[in-house]
Amino acid sequence: MDLSADTGGVTLLLGLVMVVGLFGVLVPVLPGTLLILAAGLAWALLVVESGSTRWVVVAVMAVLLALGIALKYALPGRRLSGQLPRRSLLLGAVAALVGLVLLPPFGLLAGGVLGIFTGELLRLRDAVAAGRSTVLVLKAVGLGVLAELTAGVAMVAVWLVGVLVT
């Protein structure tokens, strides 16, 4: 199959794959920024016939991917540092995995929230305080997701500039 005959169609398809990747940042079952990078790499290999610009685009996308993933985990960790005991966070992680298995994809969020709330309720013996701790965790995780989503949007923007330049 000769993909070069319809580079516009392939480019559009790869752009749609990148949109799925952006949704994947928000929905845990779908791949996120890694899918965006894979689509960018496919574009460089299948659509652009020559030149170093395509590899510069992929390299910048890869750097943004690494930055987004690093911030996704570093920001919540920094924000929660010393705020909650590891036991509550571990219970939240285990409950999130159980939730993901029982009710994909939204069980991950529901299980995590219930796990952290339960862990904090057992520790504090106060539902209001446990609720505040759970909201603190949700805000921290949301900040991490926002960082990865920002990186994903930046990756798509870099790719769009590459499409226009090549």
Residue that is written with structure tokens 């992680």 in the block: 93
Domain ranges across the chain: 3-165
Closest CA to 163 of 3, 39, 79: 39
Mean pLDDT score of the chain: 90
Percent of the chain at pLDDT exceeding 70:
97
Q: Give the pLDDT confidence score for residue 49 in this predicted structure.
A: 80
For CA atoms 82, 88, 92, 94, give the dihedral sign.
positive
Tens of pLDDT along the chain (166 residues) come to 444 457 788 999 999 999 999 999 988 778 899 999 999 999 999 988 888 999 999 999 999 999 999 999 898 888 887 788 888 888 988 999 999 899 877 888 899 899 999 999 999 999 999 999 999 988 988 999 999 999 999 999 999 999 999 8
pTM here is 0.82
**Neighbouring C-beta atoms of residue 106, cutoff 10 Å:** 13
